[in-house]
Structure 1
């Protein structure tokens, strides 16, 4: 039997594979079976027995096993897939407000498994992404641009693209002297826009981990500015961020998607391994949409 054609979700525009379509149909049939078993379905008058319920329970157990199989496979095969290709490639992690700490820790561990190391974990503060604080962001960005001198930041950049470039100078390795990068970090910290650990250093590759929903225009501007200063940028979010009006779904429709790679499912082991494969790829290729909802495939091939 030939391969069935892909379809697109009319609401999100994402590709729906034939297998995903079958899984959806199975879920509908399971729901109907549960209704019948409980006496709420159209066949309730025909009598009841235990066989439908037992079958449903078995199918549910199989569904749970299928859901965990991807994570189990990713855990078992990660080292071979990585082949230590992040060796000599430090990574800066930039967290958005509301990012789960356990996800950040798990991603850091996967980076180490790939032969890399986390140069520093930087936390964007809520004020930086709060539309009500745009005046503060704009004023500080203008001051730092003047302080750094010509060429460090694009003079005609909009507010959030400019602050994104400044964040890039603070966390991503560039031609900017270390002393100036430290000064930018201190200024951003003083304005409660960015926090960083003592001894953090910059790295050419930046992993951005999404948290709470961010205004799409602000997020797009930040990432566009960041991408202008980093060798590679990967943006990771959970599965929900890739659906409906989630951050990843919105981001993937913007032009900045050509500059940064996006990965969904970062709250799972499979998504975390996919994220690190995207980091490996970003050392030479930018952009790309990966994960269960990714338009460029489930997993990037470095």
Structure 2
């Protein structure tokens, strides 16, 4: 049995420890801990203010850059697409502001946007692969010569043919594209006539603050299906694809890696990219495809300015 004196000694030890803690906490340790905490708070506040200043400086620099690009575009875009008729082809998840910015620059270059259509997720839905394979057989009969045996390429060729030609075949192809409750295409602004060329606008990369850029979830889709579809469209008429190439699964990144024969412009959403689209389109119409922008696979930062090399 434990002796009473053992209990007494234990209790005395506990109270002594508490007393020492109180004395130290109220004396020398209080000052040192308080000083350390104050120093940390001061340091964190300084870091926050520095980051805020840098952010404001970066935003100001971006605004100045965009203003410069807009001013420069006003000097060298006019006349580059005079008389050209363009149809905008909008892909799923593309942002309205990006579409408006591209439209403005095309009009600055002298082009007329004669219509706008949106493509649905059916083009890349893995569950609709059999449907696309079967459906493409109906498209082939309205094409003078299918450029490929690839299902999506045939559908893409049908899309461009419907938008850049007139007549019964064009009407039939348009009807096929918009038919059923889950169409391949919806019409945002009905084309007023056949276009000379297509500008395809894709989505941006979804970036989570503090992490590396990552693409938006694709669910049950096959992103690579767009490669064949847009390659098929480019085989039927001058086509420029504007999109993202920040990560390997982005639209433009995949087009470049697969070496799809279509002109691409990366960095969708930036003023520089929207300004490059009319120049890229003029170059493509002249017979030169290219890859332009700041990301992997780009041949040059911007397309050549017609008449200036």
Q: Do Structure 1 and Structure 2 share a fold, with TM-score over 0.5?
A: yes
1:229 deviates by 0.4
1:1-302 alignment runs, 5 A limit: 48=43, 55-146=50-141, 148=142, 151-154=144-147, 157-173=149-165, 177-191=166-180, 192-196=183-187, 197-211=189-203, 215-230=222-237, 232-238=238-244, 241-256=245-260, 259-293=261-295, 295-302=298-305
How far is the alpha carbon of 1:221 from its aligned partner? 0.6
Q: CA deviation at 1:142?
A: 0.2
Distance 1:243 1:219 in 2: 16
Query: What CA deviation, in whole Å up to 9, does each residue of 1:148-185 have, x standing for no partner?
Result: 27x3424x611111111111111234xxx522101110
In 2, Cα distance between the equivalents of 1:50 and 1:158? 60
Cα displacement (A) at 1:265: 2.1
Check conservation: 2:123, 2:226, Cα contact below 8 A: no
Task: State the Cα deviation string for residues 45-102 of structure 1 (Å, max 9, x = none).
Answer: 8x85977665554433322222223211111121212132110111111111222222
**Residues 256-288 of structure 1 deviation map (CA, whole Å, 9 limit, x = unaligned):** 1xx211112221222211222212222213322
Question: Which of these two proteins has the greater Rg computed from alpha carbons?
Answer: 2
Distance 2:112 2:167 in 1: 19
Q: Secondary structure at the match of 2:161?
A: helix
Which TM-score applies when normalising by structure 2?
A: 0.72
Gaps of 5+ in 1: 1-38
RMSD value over aligned CA atoms?
A: 2.7
SS of 1:262 mapped into structure 2: strand
Structure 2: segments with no counterpart, 5+ residues: 1-35, 204-215
C-alpha change, 1:55 and 1:102, in structure 2 (3 Å) is: closer
TM-score by length of 1: 0.74
Kindly tell me the number of residue pairs found equivalent between the two proteins. 250
